[in-house]
Amino acid sequence: MKARVLVTGMGGELGTRVAQLIEAREWATDIVGVDFVPPRRRLRRAEFRRIDPRDADRLSSFVADYAPQVVAHFGVYEPASRMTPASARERTDSCTAATMNAAASTGALEYVVIRSGLEVYGPPTGRVSVPDEDAVPAPTTPYGRSLLAVEAAAKGVALRCGIPVGALRYAPVVGSHVPSPLGRLLRLPVVPVSAVSDPPFSLLHPDDAAHAMVAAIERRLDGPCNIVGEGAATPWQAARLGGRVPLPVPPGLWRLVARATEVAGAALAPHVVDLLRHGCTGDASRARDALGLTRPTPTQDVLRELFDWADVVAIARAGEQAA
């Protein structure tokens, strides 16, 4: 297998990690990434092209010229992580449409894998609390609907080109270097939790997310696949694990709490409220069988890593270091 690889969203933590992993693979003859911000680490083989996804014409012509054989689509932006919800939706829509249409039109495309999320299933009010990939998606938040639209666009490419398309439905990816509204919220001194329930949620370590993406490319995963860390935690427990104070919030007050957390520096997106109120987990047995993801990092270890991250890292001056 030899392939020219395009990584959209390479400027994000996951996009950069995936590019680093692909660089070490011999089958990747060329690796090119696009995003509106530069990669987060030094890349040795991969090339980066700074293109804002909102500039659809420029992105389309670049992708068409490059004619990728494999597309790893990380150009899916989470609301309130690095940008406002409106901007995230606009960039996601534009990046997905431009990349998919241009890549499909070249005739060289062999495989597409996209980043999706458990948010596509919606809250577990329909009594399915640990959905597998056969569960009917019913997103109730803007982010969930946005992810489902990305999946639909990728399915369109699969039909048009007759190629396999994988959709990795990630549990919320949280880590010390991953900008995430959930991570920011859990690191506040006081963490809002539901007053009427304490539902379980699962998290995913960024390394597992990146490895799953590369495994999907190598094994040509077709269809959706939940990528979920082992075990779960509850919002109350997560707050206590970090030494934070859980604040029980009655059902009618979440909008007020969202205002307060935004002022405190952690904007509360609707999909994060859903997670705190209803939980968010998924059945990861397909990832185990199809991608060999046998021992993903446990959710509570992901949380510990998040809380172990120092707020401020003091760097000693040159003179002090010498002393």
Applying CB under 8 A, which residues contact another protein? 124-132, 134-135, 196-200, 202, 228, 231-234, 236-242, 279, 281-283, 285, 300
Q: How many angstroms separate the first and last alpha carbons of the chain? A: 53
Q: Which residue lies nearer to another protein by CB, 88 or 238? A: 238
Residues 115 and 55: their CA atoms lie apart, in Å, by 21
Give the shortest CB-256-to-another protein separation in angstroms: 20
Give the shortest CB-40-to-another protein separation in angstroms: 30
H/E segment holding residue 31: strand 28-35
For residue 307, which amino acid is it?
Answer: F
Give the shortest CB-241-to-another protein separation in angstroms: 4
Q: Are 39 and 32 in contact (CB under 8 A)?
A: no
Q: Which residue lies nearer to another protein by CB, 149 or 293? A: 293
Q: Which residue lies nearer to another protein by CB, 75 or 242? A: 242
Give the shortest CB-285-to-another protein separation in angstroms: 4
For residue 209, which amino acid is it?
Answer: A
- At residue 79's C-alpha, the angle toward residues 13 and 47, to 5°, is 30
Give the shortest CB-264-to-another protein separation in angstroms: 21
How many residues would you count in the chain? 323
Q: Are 40 and 16 in contact (CB under 8 A)?
A: yes
Q: Which residue lies nearer to another protein by CB, 9 or 279? A: 279
Q: Which residue lies nearer to another protein by CB, 109 or 193? A: 193
Tokens at 132, concatenated: 């597998």
